[in-house]
Amino acid sequence: MKITIFGTGYVGLVTGTCLADVGHDVMCVDVDSDKIARLKAGEIPIYEPGLESMVKHNVATGRLRFTTDAKEAVSFGVLQFIAVGTPPDEDGSADLKYVLAVADTIGEYMQEDKVVVDKSTVPVGTADKVKEAVGKRLASRGVKLGVEVCSNPEFLKEGAAIEDFTHGARIIVGTDSDRVKRLMRECYAPYIRLQEKLMFMDVRAAELTKYAANAMLATKISFMNEIANLAERLGADVEQVRRGIGSDPRIGYHFIYPGCGYGGSCFPKDVQALERTARDVSYDAELLAAVESVNNRQKQTLFTKLANAFDGGLKGRTIALWGLSFKPNTDDMRDAPSRTLMEALWEAGASVQAYDPEAMKECRRLYGERDDLVLAGDRVQAVKGADALVICTEWKEFRSLDFAWLKGQLSMPVIVDGRNLYDPESVREAGLMYYAVGRGDSL
Ligand code: UGA
């Protein structure tokens, strides 16, 4: 099957590569010529485990190609996936300018009937707008061609995107057209195990499903962070509470890890966009607003704990920071809790010695060269000469730690752990003060 994918960002690239890997002919198109040139040379612009070799392999077989030529791309695929970005605009709603520009391009160049597939996370009602935009362009050309638009939201987690694509919990397709159903079935047919997970529904239900899923997961996290904050004040250990409630299958163990707040390009943006959508239909989404404000407060928690540990005297201090990305196995720092912390530390006159296994380049790109930021070569370098250690991301390599050694490195024996990585008793036995999230006297 011939498939065109607009957008070679995270979603477009993973989708295109996975579909090529199971035998489809895929053309990925992007307006960024630099990016396309790099992709053609097998250079991947993002860090995603397993993706690079998969791209290289499929480019070599000829099933995966990259282009900037929109005309060629539109004529290529029966299915035209839209996987371009939807950045939040000032009021938090998703900005559709890139999505609608692709719709316009499809209308401009199509010479036969096409099926447009919305893969980007877009507000409810966008499929209708895309259809209208393509139709308008067709009308201006004076041609009569059929276009159908379906919603096929992605549920990929950064760091596990290939696994999520190939073994996802479901494939959602929003359409009322039998032809589209047939084509989408054919598109996903090679994923035999996913066949029974293919769910057809109305377009608007599919669009809302994506937001509802992310908002539910964000709600679980904010809920757990709220319980953790309570646990701190009540002298209870939230890790024990987490295990206790997770054992009830109605609650489950997933996404109930308290921490220093959720980040990334999806949860913060999607919760806000859904709130905005609610406002547009005159509904006050109180729970969503609370999920967001609990998270914003939670992202301050590491700074508050550090400031308390130093009695407010952070000026001139050097803080070692492990983990910059918003979660492990990615170099993505969008809305990462580490950023809120670093910016607050700088504001308070402290400097940061940071280490992350993947996000160092990204950190430099975001903050440039500055006196109060040292990017250390490894985790050991990061703590050399530091006053205290803070952990923002639960990378595997941070999980085991020689506490006695660490105590010898830090001028103040303080660990602030935003991910509850260690057993509080073992840390304290080594003579360190341990401030985790929701673990008894962690305030
Ligand atoms: C999320 C969803 O999990 C995907 O299903 C969805 O497709 C994607 O957004 C999207 O909309 O594109 P992602 O943002 O890559 O994926 O990352 P997650 O693994 O969901 O983590 C999000 C944040 O929640 C991270 O900062 C993580 O540290 C935090 N988190 C997660 C917690 O604080 N506690 C938990 O128990 C789980």
293-336 pLDDT tens trace: 999 999 999 999 999 999 989 999 999 999 999 999 999 999 99
Q: Is the CB of 255 under 6 A from ligand 1?
A: yes
Q: 409-442: per-residue pLDDT in tens?
A: 999 999 999 999 999 999 999 999 999 999 976 6
pLDDT of residue 443: 60
- The contacts found for 363-370 with CB under 8 angstroms, 24 or more apart, are 363/324, 363/333, 366/333, 366/339, 367/342
Distance from the alpha carbon of residue 157 to the mean position of ligand 1, in angstroms: 6
| Cβ neighbours of 226 (radius 10 Å) | 17
The one-letter amino acid at 432: L
Q: Band of the pLDDT at 42, cuts 50, 70, 90? A: confident
CB 324 within 8 A of CB 359: yes
Is the pLDDT assigned to residue 195 strictly greater than 80? Answer: no
Which residues are annotated as part of the binding site for substrate?
Answer: 155-158, 210, 255-259, 263, 327
Q: What is the pLDDT of residue 82?
A: 98
In angstroms, what is the span from residue 124 Cα to ligand 1's centroid? 21
101 contacts: CB under 8 Å, gap ≥ 6: 84
Task: Give the per-residue pLDDT at 9.
Answer: 93
Which protein residue's CA is at the shortest distance from atom 35 of ligand 1?
A: 255
Strands 318-322 and 114-118: unpaired
Query: What is the structure's pLDDT at 441?
Result: 66
Amino acid at 53: S
pLDDT at residue number 191 = 85
pTM: 0.94
269 lines ligand 1 (CB under 6 A): no
Interacting residues of 318 by C-beta distance below 8 A, sequence separation 6+: 350, 351, 352, 353, 385, 386, 387
Q: Using pLDDT thresholds of 50, 70 and 90, give the confidence band for residue 270.
A: very high
Q: Which amino acid is at 315?
A: K
Let me know the angle formed at the C-alpha of 312 by 321 and 304, rounded to the nearest 5 degrees: 55
Domains of the chain: residue spans and CATH: 2-201 (3.40.50.720), 235-443 (3.40.50.720)
- Residue 312: per-residue pLDDT: 86
* Each residue's pLDDT tens digit, 201-251: 999 999 999 999 999 999 999 999 999 999 999 999 999 999 999 999 999
Assign 93 a pLDDT band (cuts: 50, 70, 90).
confident
> Ligand 1 pocket: which of 47, 51, 156 to mutate (most atoms <8 Å of CB)?
156
- Closest Cα to residue 291, out of 390, 212, 209, 392? 212
Burial class (CB in 10 A: 0-12, 13-18, 19+), 131: middle
Neighbours of 361 (CB within 10 A): 12
What is the rounded (10 degree) CA torsion for 100, 105, 110, 116? Answer: -30
List, by residue number, the catalytic residues.
266
